[in-house]
Amino acid sequence: MVTPKTLIKLASKWQKVAAAGDRRRRISLPRTRSSSTVADKGHFVVYTVDQKRCVLPIRYLGNYVLRELLKMSEEEFGLPADGPIKLPCEAAFMEYIVYLIRRHVDFEVEQALVLSIAPAVKCSCDSNLFSSAAPVNEATRPAIICGF
Amino acid sequence: MFSELMNFLRACFRPRSDRHVHKGSDAGGRQDGLLWYKDSGQHVNGEFSMAVVQANNLLEDQSQMESGNLSLHEAGPYGTFVGVYDGHGGPETSRYVNDHLFQHLKRFTSEQQSMSVDVIRKAFQATEEGVIAQVSKQWSMRPQIAAVGSCCLVGVICGGTLYIANLGDSRAVLGRVVKATGEVLSVQLSAEHNASIESVRQELRALHPDDPHIVVLKHNVWRVKGLIQVSRSIGDVYLKRAEFNREPLYAKFRLREPIKKPILSAEPSISVLQLQPQDQFIIFASDGLWEHLSNQEAVDIVQNHPRNGSARRLVKAALQEAAKKREMRYSDLKKIDRGVRRHFHDDITVIVVFLDSNLVSRASSTKCASLSVRGGGVNLRPNSLAPCTTPSDTGMA
């Protein structure tokens, strides 16, 4: 079982890495050229609530945290009919997710992370029933995690 | 030597994932990843083409093409029956409709010895009653079944007459040639019941004058009671009967006020059309197609290409559009597995029914061989990219 202590330790380590500003180790989201609206081969696009465009490798769709974020996006915003996917979190949190995926962290850590960001969403994940309803509580928004 | 023998034996006994698909003949359709298709087939009134692409973990779209006897008596009438059932909340209701609606229709046609609007209406009603009976039976074990429903689009071609019956937001579009110019124009044949349409919201408000929250706008999408986009469906009994809108149904589906009269209706909109020689083809499709293609775009794609593979071509065009909206490549979209795929597009079902005017004008008593094709033939096993939880696969048998 992962304790909150482990999580905080992990998060602060990430912050140090990010703050160090070392070009080789800097955490950043891969992006396409701004002139192109279609992602590079092998990638998909999500937007964050603070309007940042994140271009991620297709294989990231297998990641548990990302899949949970997609479910939360559906609960919060519905499935977008005419545009790109928007995730209910900020870019800083996405950077953290990318860092976790690259580090291949344990599934337990990912699970703890998901539980900490949206306990309200968990009950609806156990079934394929409906895509609407269940507003995500303001207090449980993933943006909180960015404060680590 | 021994290992070679073992490999040979293993190859012989390896279970094939495509064993249900008739690869050589194309008779039952083919599977290519999440795409199922039957490029060409023959029905009583001409050719047809079918394609289904799955996005949900369990395919919620169901469909059927039935050609031949539309009654239980040998005397007929004979004709073509097309059904597109777009499920929501799970696959159970759309599967039930796929298994029962056509049988009910045959029974009522036999009783009345002809095809009519009344026969179709009764078949819908009997199917809805069957679903309610199933939910009553399963309520104590699986209360969430009350929140599963299905749109239902049906086309019947019999004796030169076309009947279109619709519940929900699937759509049938006719391609009709304009004699003077030779152009093929789209004619929408079905009325839709989606709260995004102003007249549907007005109808709901008129039916529920005491309820200021009968339709709610959330994130630019209109929903009935803030829960569902369609105003008519088969199933969804939690919005039809008070006894199914209570615990242990999930709180998010429960209404504050007890249901006094049904909020959703199961009454189909039915239209009747005498087919003319200039009527070329009809495209039946779930809303997964129409959210990416306009009626005329779809008609143009069918008209400007060979008939063979028309439905698959329409699905591809819709997926290319979906990829564009998600700012990614079509080739990458196709790599995304079911379940996660629902965030990129909906399940899509397309049936293109071509009309051969010589065959259409034939009497409905003319006997012919029967044909029955179900869309999306194979049930795939769960895999790594699919969501972690899988609802019970055993539905309303």
pLDDT in tens, B284-337: 999 999 999 999 999 999 999 999 999 999 999 999 999 999 999 999 999 999
- Residue A16 confidence (pLDDT): 52
- Residue A102 confidence (pLDDT): 84
Q: What secondary structure letter does DSSP report for B243? A: G
Residue A111 binned pLDDT confidence (cut-offs 50, 70, 90): confident
- Whether residues B385 and A70 touch (CB distance < 8 A) is answered with no
Q: For residue A78, is it left (φ>0), alpha (ψ between -120 and 50) or beta?
A: left
Is residue A34 within 8 angstroms of chain B, CB to CB?
no
Give yes or no for residue B26 having a pLDDT over 50: yes
Mean pLDDT value across chain B: 89
Cα–Cα distance between A19 and A51 in angstroms, integer?
22
Cα–Cα distance between B228 and A132 in angstroms, integer?
7
Is residue A82 within 8 angstroms of chain B, CB to CB?
yes
Most A CBs within 10 Å, among B95, B142, B196, B326, to test the A interface: B326
- Residue B125 confidence (pLDDT): 98
Cα–Cα distance between A116 and B213 in angstroms, integer?
33
User: In chain A, which residue's Cα lies nearest the Cα of B148?
Assistant: A129
- Residue B138 confidence (pLDDT): 95
Per-residue pLDDT of B341-393, as tens digits, reads 999 999 999 999 999 988 988 888 888 888 999 998 555 444 333 333 333 34
- Residue B234 confidence (pLDDT): 98
Is residue B332 within 8 angstroms of chain A, CB to CB?
yes
Cα–Cα distance between A131 and B218 in angstroms, integer?
13
Cα–Cα distance between B61 and B91 in angstroms, integer?
7
- B294 CA to chain A: closest CA distance, Å? 13
Q: What secondary structure letter does DSSP report for B144? A: G
Indicate the pTM of the whole model: 0.82
More confident of the two residues A30 and A75: A75
- Whether residues A61 and B340 touch (CB distance < 8 A) is answered with yes
- A19 CA to chain B: closest CA distance, Å? 31
More confident of the two residues B167 and A116: B167
Chain A residues within 8 A of B144 when measuring between CB atoms: 127, 129
Is residue A120 within 8 angstroms of chain B, CB to CB?
no
Cα–Cα distance between B186 and B78 in angstroms, integer?
27
Of B57, B335, B346, the CB nearest to A58: B335
Average pLDDT over residues B125-135: 98
Of A39, A125, A130, the CB nearest to B147: A130
**Of B186, B184, B153, residue with least CA distance to B167:** B153
More confident of the two residues B260 and B151: B151
- B340 CA to chain A: closest CA distance, Å? 7
- Residue B176 confidence (pLDDT): 98
User: What are the DSSP E strand ranges found in B151-277?
Assistant: 152-158, 161-167, 171-177, 184-188, 215-218, 221-224, 234-235, 269-274
Of A39, A129, A133, the CB nearest to B90: A129
- Whether residues B252 and A128 touch (CB distance < 8 A) is answered with no
- Cβ-Cβ pairs closer than 8 A, A with B, add up to 109
- Whether residues A128 and B218 touch (CB distance < 8 A) is answered with no
More confident of the two residues B91 and B378: B91
Is residue A37 within 8 angstroms of chain B, CB to CB?
yes
Q: Give the ranges where B59-166 is alpha helix by DSSP (H).
A: 92-112, 117-138
- A56 CA to chain B: closest CA distance, Å? 11
Chain B residues within 8 A of A42 when measuring between CB atoms: 332
Give yes or no for residue A22 having a pLDDT over 60: no
- Whether residues B219 and A78 touch (CB distance < 8 A) is answered with yes
Is residue B250 within 8 angstroms of chain A, CB to CB?
yes
Cα–Cα distance between B142 and B126 in angstroms, integer?
22
- Residue B137 confidence (pLDDT): 96
A12-21, B35-44, B50-59, B357-366: the lowest-pLDDT one: A12-21
Estimate the crossing angle of helix A64-77 against helix A107-117, to 10 degrees: 20
Widest pairwise Cα distance in chain A: 46
Residue B257 binned pLDDT confidence (cut-offs 50, 70, 90): confident
Chain B residues within 8 A of A38 when measuring between CB atoms: 324, 327-329
Is residue A14 within 8 angstroms of chain B, CB to CB?
no
Residue B240 binned pLDDT confidence (cut-offs 50, 70, 90): very high
- Residue B207 confidence (pLDDT): 94
Cα–Cα distance between B131 and B266 in angstroms, integer?
11
- Residue A141 confidence (pLDDT): 35
- Residue A29 confidence (pLDDT): 53
